[in-house]
């Protein structure tokens, strides 16, 4: 294939990916995580309590609530079924393919960005995240957007990308908590070898980080009013303490 890629060919590829991602998502739930998340969202709708993820035998799967809210929203649209449970995961994984191409071609050639997107879309792990109702598909999208934002900040010192970074960071935090801190910290360390690393100062984490944390802090505040901090203390112990110095479901740390 010579020269630039035909736009119709690119569009056709993304339409094909969308069809693959969103088809056959009505098969029975086969992973305990997605079964728990499906139950959390269903209980939120039934009880009108959008604060607490609760479902029988699913305590160990409780997390920050964005993913469960997404499922509950699509329950409203598509009904309570397997397709609705998986829809948001499929959507965010597909958006990840799209931004790898759309934002990637600002950094490299259109052809290289397209190939990068297609390699990602035909890898072993990422497509699976779009066929299961786990949190990782949503987290991947926001993490990828954070990564691109940091690169564009390094290149252009752009306030627009500072805002996109912190918005993505905030939603990733509301989706799964600490992992976005780990990812952005490691990615930021890699960027410290870049000649334009001083541009990163525009991120001003001492100002923007507290603002980005407001949604998850507000959620935590309202849960504390209801249960006196029981859920948050459990999450700290299960997702941080035990994963660092003990064992979780047979996985030992560090790194947990």
- One-letter-per-residue 3-state SS of the chain: CCCCCCHHHHHHHHHHHHHHHHCCCCCCCCCHHHHHHHHHHHHHHHHCCCCCCCCCCCHHHCCCCHHHHHHHHHHHHHCCCHHHHHHHHHHHHHHHHHHHHHHHCCCCCHHHHHHHHHHHHCCCCHHHHCCCCCCHHHHHHHHHHHHHHHHHHHHHCCHHHHHHHHHHHHHHHHHHCCHHHHHHHHHHHHHCCCCCHHHHHHHCHHHHHHHHCHHHHHHHHHHHHHHCCHHHHHHHHHHHHHHHHCEECCEECCCC
Q: Give the model confidence (pLDDT) of 30-66 as tens digits.
A: 889 999 999 999 999 999 999 999 999 999 999 999 9
Is residue 71 within 8 A of residue 133, CB to CB? The reply is: yes
Is residue 85 within 8 A of residue 45, CB to CB? The reply is: no
How many residues belong to the chain? Answer: 256
Closest of 16, 20, 9, 239 to residue 127, by C-alpha:
20
Q: Rounded to two decimals, what is the model's pTM?
A: 0.93
> What is the per-residue pLDDT for 256?
47
CA dist., res. 71 & res. 88, Å (int): 7
pLDDT along the chain (256 residues), means of 10: 77 95 93 95 96 95 97 97 97 98 96 96 95 96 97 92 98 95 90 89 95 97 96 92 79 62
> What is the per-residue pLDDT for 16?
95
Q: Give 163-176 as a DSSP string.
A: HHHHHHHHHHHHHH
Name the phi and psi angles at 248, rounded to 5.
Answer: -125, 115
């Amino acid at each position: 294939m010579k020269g630039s890629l035909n736009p119709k060919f690119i569009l056709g590829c993304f339409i094909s990916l969308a069809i693959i991602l969103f088809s056959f998502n009505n098969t029975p739930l086969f992973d305990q995580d997605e079964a728990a998340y499906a139950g959390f969202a269903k209980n939120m709708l039934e009880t009108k309590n959008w604060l607490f993820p609760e479902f029988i035998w699913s305590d160990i799967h409780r997390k920050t609530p964005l993913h469960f809210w997404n499922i509950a929203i699509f329950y409203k649209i598509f009904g309570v079924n397997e397709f609705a449970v998986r829809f948001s995961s499929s959507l965010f994984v597909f958006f990840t393919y799209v931004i790898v191409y759309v934002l990637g071609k600002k950094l490299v050639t259109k052809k290289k960005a397209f190939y990068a997107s297609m390699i990602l879309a035909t890898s072993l792990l990422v497509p699976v995240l779009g066929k299961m109702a786990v949190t990782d598909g949503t987290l991947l999208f926001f993490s990828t957007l954070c990564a691109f934002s940091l690169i564009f900040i390094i290149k252009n010192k752009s306030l627009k990308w500072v805002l996109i970074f912190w918005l993505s960071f905030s939603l990733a935090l509301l989706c799964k908590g600490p992992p976005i801190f780990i990812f952005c910290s490691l990615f930021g360390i890699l960027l410290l070898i870049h000649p334009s690393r001083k541009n990163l100062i525009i991120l001003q984490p001492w100002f923007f980080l507290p603002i980005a944390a407001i949604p998850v802090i507000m959620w935590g505040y309202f849960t504390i009013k209801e249960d006196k901090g029981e859920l948050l203390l459990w999450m700290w112990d299960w997702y941080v303490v035990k994963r660092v110095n003990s064992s979780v479901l047979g996985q030992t740390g560090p790194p947990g």
